[in-house]
Amino acid sequence: MHFLLFFLQWIFLVPVIGGSVFSVLCVAAFFLFKARLSDPSRKSFKQWPPVTVLKPVCGLEKNQRANLRSACMQDYPDYQVLFSAQDPNDPVIPLLEEIREEFGSGRVTIVVESLNVGPNGKINNLIGAYPHVRNDVIVISDSDVYLRPDYLKTIIAPLSDPEVGYVCTLYKTVSADNWFEKMELLTFNADFTPSLVFAQVTGASRFCLGASLAFRRSSLEEIGGFESLSDYLVEDYEIGRRIWSSGKKPALVPYFVEITVDFSRFMQWWNHQVYWDQNTRAAQPAGFFASVLTRSVPFAFLFALLRLCDVVGLEVFVVAIAIRIAASGAIMFLGMRDREGLKSIPLLPLRDIAALVSWFLSFTKRTVVWRGAEFILTREGRLMPKK
């Protein structure tokens, strides 16, 4: 028993050290990535092409009026905003009609189509909207995303290069009111986004972010259209995978859109944490499994418990927390201008410990819950209705 405890202590130290080093490397990667903002060689269009912004909606959400209106207030010469819903009785439709009245039917299109092509509700929504798309350049922006006026020009610019197949931007969460919304904010701003930037700078993996995504109509049709994505859990990754597999390049813009975090109950947040880990595992199973080696705080906590919270155990735990908070604070404050995240940062150790639990649960659950419906998740990342 003594040997087993000694062995476990050394095993737990591996992710403690690995995670601490990774935190520091994420800081360096973040600022290397941000430096691209001043790159004078970045391409753009001489004449901006017409664009359609797809905004799939479902139900009422926090800050929704501001988020939806922001899509209609772009500093861009010619674009269509297409709001799409599936239920004619959806309570969000009166809001959509108010926005159309404010900005005019030349700018705003509303589509309500009840389709069930596959289990992915967002894709069903987009399939209904697609026949009403007027332009060849398409942007997908989720309903909870706030767009600054320079957004369209920023995300569209890399498509001036014909070798670029799709463009996405980074995002950060905002407007966290209760403690578990703040935990969600930290999941994105202190964990997910820095990991993405590290992967981008080092070339460790490819990804595609569906909350803020631009591509050409021709690229979508070449990969089979929205219909071919209707049974995928992580449809955005599948879009990206198919486009880069065709020989086109992905582009990630060093630009942040804001996603409103919106959870009214603790279990709503927790179920979303597990769901998010299931998304990541389905998209990149090897990378997600290896991510356990970067989870310094929870393993430092387990290390301290194994040592019965003696001086060495507590020192390791405190140092791991200090490095994690310092690195995340530097990224959020200097890299993301995220003062809200800084105020929530005392919750980061608790979030990291909870994240190890949800990481483990994502391997044990064969089903996934999306908007109240339960589906079986296959090894290929596809959804099957649970009978």
CATH number at residue 167: 3.90.550.10
Whether residue 314 is found in the same domain as residue 358: yes
Whether residue 168 is found in the same domain as residue 133: yes
Whether residue 120 is found in the same domain as residue 247: yes
Q: Rounded to whole angstroms, how far apart are CA atoms 190 and 225?
A: 34
**Residue 327 lies in domain:** 2-33+286-385
Whether residue 278 is found in the same domain as residue 290: no
Residue 328 has what pLDDT? 97
Whether residue 247 is found in the same domain as residue 313: no
Whether residue 24 is found in the same domain as residue 57: no
What is the residue type of 36? R
pTM of the entire structure? Answer: 0.92
Single out the residue in 283, 311, 339 at which a domain terminates: 283
Structural domain contains residue 38: no
Whether residue 24 is found in the same domain as residue 53: no
Taking the CA atoms of 142, 143, 148 and 153 in sequence, report the sign of the dihedral they define. positive
Whether residue 260 is found in the same domain as residue 305: no
Single out the residue in 253, 283, 313 at which a domain terminates: 283
- Residue 267: burial class (beta carbons within 10 Å; 0-12, 13-18, 19+): exposed
**How do residues 81-136 score in pLDDT, each as one tens digit?**
999 999 999 999 999 999 999 999 999 999 999 998 988 999 999 999 999 999 99
Q: Which residues in the chain come in under a pLDDT of 70?
A: 1, 3, 36-42, 370-372, 380, 387
Whether residue 336 is found in the same domain as residue 224: no
CB 58 within 8 A of CB 85: yes
Structural domain contains residue 39: no
